[in-house]
Structure 1
Amino acid sequence: MPGDKNKNGSFVPIVIIAIMFFIFGMVTWVNAILIPYFKVGCELNNFESYLVAFAFYIAYLVMAIPAGYLLKRAGYRKGMMVGFWLMAAGTLLFVPAGIKREYHLFLSGLFAIGLGLAILQTAANPYITILGQKERAAQRFSIMGICNKLAGILAPVTFASFLIKPGDNELLKNVHLLDASNRAQILDELISRVIVPYAILTGVLLLFGLFIRYSPLPEIENSDGNVELEGKKSILDFPHLVLGAIAIFFHVGSQVIAVDSIINYTASMGMPLIEAKVFPSYILTTTIIGYLVGISIIPRFISQLTALRVCTILGFVLSVLVVLTHGNIRLLNHTTDISVWFMILLGLANSMIWAGIWAAAMDRLGTFVKTGASLLVMGLCGNAIMPLIYGWLADRSGLQFAYIVLLPCYLYLIFYAFTGYNLKRWKRTIKRNYEIPESV
């Protein structure tokens, strides 16, 4: 990236955005521990526990388009400050929710955090696309991904140290045998552990929002303003963008299912929660390995598009193995089903999909860059809907079979990587008089 630094003066902005992606990771991937934590502490079934992901990510669908207008009206720095402060309001709600053990209040806090993140994602991803050479966008996305996933490795383990104590597993295994009064007392104490870490996080988010407001981040202009738009009047006139938003929906949905469900899945096989808590970190570690490989070989040896195609096919193959394989093996001092390890390898497959979709979908949007980014961010609501589908299937057909929901996700991503990314219009124009059809 040194060339980008010298040519574009983008080094400092990229560092700031990298810190932002680390913060995004801390507040996002902690859901992996919150889902089983609330399931026990608030006495929920699988479907109800995945409302954590739903409340958090449905905010992207609600806020993405308003976020684009906010950024256009207030500017990027002021808009991002609002985003951080909205997140702080959400984390602050965890304090009274922890005092009352009120699940609906937790969900409200998660929704507010998601609203703030929708603004920040709408702002941050276009920066990565334009700060440097287009063909190296995947490298920059990989660097941001490493920051995000490093936070994801730290978040479940760090928050678990506040939320889960060594003696909890045996206690919680027998809590259902207690009378209502004693059970409520134990669960109240368990849930109240969120108060301190989320109060600290509130302060961090407020301060960082203020920092962003006065940071040296540039305002983004229409980076493709000189592109000939051929009469296109709205973002819906760009098939590769609309199909890219759907691809984001399936990509993030499949990714969050793997990370957020793996603790429950391993625990269902008898593994103690205090041991199972590390498995989301394993998935995110394989994702980071994928990022590092991408940084090393793109675009020197393979293109962003080729990486996208390889990763989507690999994701489909691994998903089939997750659903169909059985049998315990011992790795990394854990004894668990082999399907768990195939799910961990999904992190490798997911690593270059986000970068490939964003680079393809944001190409040649002209004056529609900001609203195009908003549409792609709306696709993040896949994180809300796909885990609910998984949870519904898990309650009816078992945790392993429910992973069949991953298969259509990767099939669509394969379609986008090979065909959808290249569509320039919704219908081919048939030329008469034996003229050669225009390429799509």
Structure 2
Amino acid sequence: MPDKTSALLPMSILGLLFFIFGFVTWLNGSLIPFLKIICDLTAFEALLVTFAFYIAYTVMALPMATVLRYTGYKQGMALGLGIMAAGALLFIPAAQSADYRLFLGGLFTLGAGLTLLQTASNPYIVHIGPHESAAARISIMGLINKGAGVLAPLLFTALIFADFTAPVSADATPEMKAALAQKLVSPYLSMASALALLAVFVRLAPLPKLPFEAVPAAPGDSVWRHPHLLLGAVTLFFYVGIEVIAGDTIGLYGQSLGIENATALTAYTMVFMVAGYLIGVTTIPRFISQEKALRYTALAGLVFTAGILWSSEQSHTVASILWGWSGIATLPDSLTFVALLGLANALVWPAVWPLALKDLGPLTAKGSALLIMGIAGGALLPLLFGQIGEMGGTLRHGYALGFVCYAFIFYYALTGHSIRRNHA
């Protein structure tokens, strides 16, 4: 077990990687309403952004686990960053041609790189210190990740719309849409350069091997024989689905309510996620266990989902209570409850990973890949959200999916994480 001094450098490097995760991932919340405008998309078509990005986790997770077996965790992280750089470069021809298919290809490639990066990095966080404090370490990474998630939509909005004095909407002229698309070239070129440099840095960094990397699995053992892991993957499917819905659809929902600068609304959800991670860092495991934290956040998610569906789309009462003192109480109550889902979501990922990877030993890489496959929820559930919203006549109806997602998370926190196979 590494001591605190030897764990400091890996934690610092992983913190930088988690910042990259957050920045790239939560740009999608801004890209959805943006691409809806420049590519003339329906709301359902625009949500293919999340599908293309998150389906890569499902398609590529097990192949990436095989890659890790040959490269090791450290070199796998460097390779993942290189793949992400290639994905960012695809945005340049996509922007120049305003071809939605190229945008989706770039998003899939970014997601493939992140799959390898996350499959390697999350076990590092779990095993770099004591098991009972793993959720607190992941919460620290989450703070960094969601801090980037706050920055990404604000920076995107500032860079892309800086030269436009009036709000840009779907009825913008073709010339204005072409000018908007061109504005993507410079940011994504810069992103590709930064990712490539970071890949070289990680390749040369003195990251230690994990203790089980060279240990073979027991004969006959496999990830499919560990129910707590399988249920953990299903839990992450529902969690990532509702997390993406909360972060990436708030802009579309705000756009439908006539909110200006809707591309920046993801930042509100991220602010609440940061608050949730702060709670996790300060309370786990000193005051609350990982299991109890998961139960309480699932219950909060159920309450906030009810708030979205049954609160006002005109009143600003909830926003005034939360941040009226700051002068930014501009969100309707229903939209504020969407942002509050960030608070409910924050501790799910940190709590599920150590619970699901417990006792896996040399199967950790494959177990990590299986958990990463659960990220497919971010590809599929937002599409279902869009379909429910269109059938119901308003996007708000789609948030009813939250009841299913948080109910399963609560089940895993209550009993699912403790189920083990019968050795008899």
Fold shared by both chains (TM-score > 0.5): yes
Task: Note the C-alpha offset of 1:91.
Answer: 0.5
The partner residue of 2:413 within 396, 417, 421 is 417
User: Are positions 1:209 and 2:199 aligned together?
Assistant: yes
Equivalent in the alignment of 1:392: 387
User: Are positions 1:85 and 2:82 aligned together?
Assistant: yes
Partner SS, residue 169 of structure 2:
helix
Distance 1:115 1:164, change over 3 A: same
User: Are positions 1:242 and 2:241 aligned together?
Assistant: no
Equivalent in the alignment of 1:122: 119
- Distance in 2 of aligned mates of 1:199 and 1:27: 13
- Distance in 2 of aligned mates of 1:133 and 1:415: 25
- The count of aligned residue pairs is 413
Equivalent in the alignment of 1:146: 143
Deviation per residue, 1:206-231 (Å, 9 max, x gap) = 1100111111111223279699x7x7
Query: Is the 1:46–1:394 Cα contact (8 Å) retained in structure 2?
Result: no
**396-405 vs 114-123, which moves further:** 396-405
Deviation per residue, 1:103-135 (Å, 9 max, x gap) = 000000000000000000000000000001111
Equivalent in the alignment of 1:46: 43
Partner SS, residue 335 of structure 1:
coil
- Distance in 1 of aligned mates of 2:3 and 2:137: 10
The partner residue of 1:160 within 130, 150, 157 is 157
- Distance in 1 of aligned mates of 2:150 and 2:187: 17
Equivalent in the alignment of 1:371: 366
Equivalent in the alignment of 2:301: 315
Distance 1:53 1:212, change over 3 A: same
- Distance in 2 of aligned mates of 1:53 and 1:259: 11
Query: Is the 2:34–2:263 Cα contact (8 Å) retained in structure 1?
Result: no
**Same amino acid, percent of matched pairs:** 40
Amino acid at match of 1:378: M
- Distance in 1 of aligned mates of 2:308 and 2:271: 18
The partner residue of 1:106 within 90, 103, 106 is 103
User: Are positions 1:343 and 2:329 aligned together?
Assistant: no
- Distance in 2 of aligned mates of 1:368 and 1:357: 17
Task: Note the C-alpha offset of 1:347.
Answer: 1.3
**19-28 vs 263-272, which moves further:** 263-272
Amino acid at match of 1:288: V
Query: Is the 1:77–1:214 Cα contact (8 Å) retained in structure 2?
Result: no
Query: Is the 1:226–1:366 Cα contact (8 Å) retained in structure 2?
Result: no
In the superposition, the TM-score normalised over structure 1's length comes to: 0.90
Amino acid at match of 1:5: K
User: Are positions 1:191 and 2:181 aligned together?
Assistant: yes
- Distance in 2 of aligned mates of 1:245 and 1:259: 21
Task: Note the C-alpha offset of 1:60.
Answer: 0.3
Distance 1:348 1:171, change over 3 A: closer
- Distance in 1 of aligned mates of 2:193 and 2:389: 37
Amino acid at match of 1:68: A
Query: Is the 1:4–1:133 Cα contact (8 Å) retained in structure 2?
Result: no
Distance 1:361 1:170, change over 3 A: closer
Task: Note the C-alpha offset of 1:169.
Answer: 4.7
Alignment RMSD (CA, Å): 2.0
Amino acid at match of 1:374: A
Amino acid at match of 1:282: Y
**Aligned ranges for residues 262-273 of structure 1 at < 5 Å?**
262-272=250-260
The partner residue of 2:355 within 360, 364, 368 is 360
Q: Which runs of 5+ in 2 are unaligned?
A: none
- Which structure has the greater CA radius of gyration? 1
Amino acid at match of 2:361: G
User: Are positions 1:22 and 2:19 aligned together?
Assistant: yes
Task: Note the C-alpha offset of 1:170.
Answer: 4.1
Amino acid at match of 1:357: V
Amino acid at match of 1:417: A
Task: Note the C-alpha offset of 1:266.
Answer: 1.4
Partner SS, residue 218 of structure 1:
coil
Q: Which runs of 5+ in 1 are unaligned?
A: 176-182, 430-440
The partner residue of 1:31 within 28, 46, 49 is 28
Deviation per residue, 1:182-210 (Å, 9 max, x gap) = x3222111111110000000100111001
Equivalent in the alignment of 1:179: none
Query: Is the 1:65–1:375 Cα contact (8 Å) retained in structure 2?
Result: yes
Query: Is the 1:22–1:151 Cα contact (8 Å) retained in structure 2?
Result: yes
- Distance in 2 of aligned mates of 1:169 and 1:48: 25
- Distance in 2 of aligned mates of 1:18 and 1:303: 23
Task: Note the C-alpha offset of 1:102.
Answer: 0.4
